[in-house]
Amino acid sequence: MLQAHSILWHYLWVAPNVILLALAFLMWKRGLVKTFPIFFSFAILSAIGQLAVYVADIAPSVSAENFWRVDWISMLVEGVLKFALIAEIFAFAFGPYSSVAKLGKFLIRGVGIALVLAAGVAAGYAPKDSPYGLINGAHLLEQTIYLIETGLLAFILFFSSYFHLRLSRPLFGIALGLSISACVHLAAWAVIANAGLKNSTRYHLDFFSMAVYHLCVLIWCYYLLVPAKVRIEPTVPPSEPPFNSPSAPPTTKDLDELNEEMERLLHR
C-alpha cells in the first residue's frame, strides 16, 4: 500500500491537484478571483505544475533527467507564487492598519533576511544525498523554499495574533493551509535531504507529505467555499450594562477634559 506507484500513491498525487483546479473554478464562478488573484493563480499553476511532474513520472517516454527538469521548473514557478501569496496575505492582514503595517514591514524584512541567511547556511552544510547534481539541487531548493516560507508565515500569524488582528475567514484559511503544508514539508525535506534515509522510510515520508498536502487543499476548500456561521447576538437591555465600568455614562465634559489634557501633553 505505502509503495511508489500504488493506488494510494496515484490518488494522493493526483486528487489534491484536481481538487485545487476545481477550487479555482469555483472561485472564478463566485467572483473570488478579484479578491485573491495570487491564490487563484497559485491554485491553477501549482496544480498544473504538479500534474505535469506526475505525468513526467509515469510516462515511460520521459527520461529521468527530463523528469527532474520538469520538477525544477514546477518548483521554481510554485516558489515564486508562494512568496507572492505570502505578500498578498501580509497586505490583506495589516494593510488596513497603517501603524501595524509600518512595524510589520520593518520586522518581516528583518525576518526575511535572517531566513534567507539561515536557508543558505542549511543548504551549504547539507550533505549530498545523490550523486546527481540535478537531484541534489532539487532537494535543497525544496528545503530552502519551505524554510523561508515556514518562517514568514509563522511570523505573520504570530504578529497578527499578538495584535489580535482577525484575518478574514478565507484569508485565514489560505494562511493556515499554506502554513501547515510548509511546516510538514520543511520537516520532511530536511530529513530527506540531510538524513540519508533508506528508500522504504523515504516512501513513508513522501506519503505523509502528500496526505498533509491533501488535507491542506481540503482546508482551503472549506475556508473559501463554506460560509461562516452567522452568530445571533442577544440584545442587552439598556438598564443592565454588561461590564464593570463606572456607573455614570461618559459625558461631553469627559471628552472635553481628556481632549484638553491631551492638547496640554502634546504642546508641553
Partner 1 sequence: MTLATILVIAAVLALVVVLRVTFSRGLQVSTDRSLAAQLQPIDVAAFRNLVDPAEDAYLLRRLPSAEFRAVQRQRLLATAVYVKAANRNAAILIIMGQDALASSNVHTAEAARQLVENATLLRQNATIALLKIYVALAWPHASLGSTPVVQRYERLNVSAMLLGRLQNPAAPVRIAATS
Min dist CB 89 to partner 1, Å, is: 13
Distance CA 42, CA 47 (A): 8
Output 67 or 90, the one with its CB closest to partner 1. 90
Q: What angle do CA 95, 44, 84 make, to 5 degrees?
A: 30
Cβ contact 179:154 at 8 Å? yes
Match 491533501 to its residue by C-alpha cell.
214
The three-class DSSP label of residue 226 is: coil
Identify which range of 2-10, 16-24, 44-52, 121-129 contacts partner 1 by CB under 8 A: 121-129
Is residue 195 at the binding interface for partner 1, with CB under 8 A as the rule?
yes
Is residue 227 at the binding interface for partner 1, with CB under 8 A as the rule?
no
Identify which range of 9-17, 20-28, 35-43, 175-183 contacts partner 1 by CB under 8 A: 175-183
31: left (phi over 0), alpha (psi -120 to 50) or beta: left
- Pull the grid cell for residue 105: 514591514
Is residue 238 at the binding interface for partner 1, with CB under 8 A as the rule?
yes
Min dist CB 164 to partner 1, Å, is: 5
Is residue 111 at the binding interface for partner 1, with CB under 8 A as the rule?
no
Min dist CB 7 to partner 1, Å, is: 29
Is residue 114 at the binding interface for partner 1, with CB under 8 A as the rule?
no
Cβ contact 174:110 at 8 Å? no
Closest alpha carbon to 156 in 88, 225, 77: 88
Q: How far is CA 41 from CA 112, 152, 179, in A?
A: 23, 20, 18
Min dist CB 192 to partner 1, Å, is: 9
Output 92 or 172, the one with its CB closest to partner 1. 172
Q: What angle do CA 171, 174, 176 make, to 5 degrees?
A: 105
Is residue 176 at the binding interface for partner 1, with CB under 8 A as the rule?
yes
Please give the residues from 70 up to 99 whose contact with partner 1 meets the rule CB under 8 A: 96-99
Q: Which of 145, 153, 210, 217 binds partner 1 (CB under 8 A)?
A: 153
Q: What are phi and psi of 232, to 5 degrees?
A: -100, 115
Q: How many residues bind partner 1 (CB under 8 A)?
A: 62
DSSP single-letter state for residue 127: P
Q: Which of 61, 227, 243, 267 binds partner 1 (CB under 8 A)?
A: 243
Distance CA 71, CA 85 (A): 21
Is residue 113 at the binding interface for partner 1, with CB under 8 A as the rule?
no
Q: Which of 103, 116, 135, 215 binds partner 1 (CB under 8 A)?
A: 103
Listing DSSP states for 139-163 in one string gives: HHHHHHHHHHHHHHHHHHHHHHHHT
Residues that bind partner 1 (CB under 8 A): 96-100, 103, 122, 125-126, 143, 147, 150-151, 153-154, 157-158, 160-166, 172, 176, 179-180, 182-184, 186-187, 190-191, 193-195, 231, 233-234, 236, 238-239, 241-246, 248-250, 254-255, 257-259, 261-262, 265-266
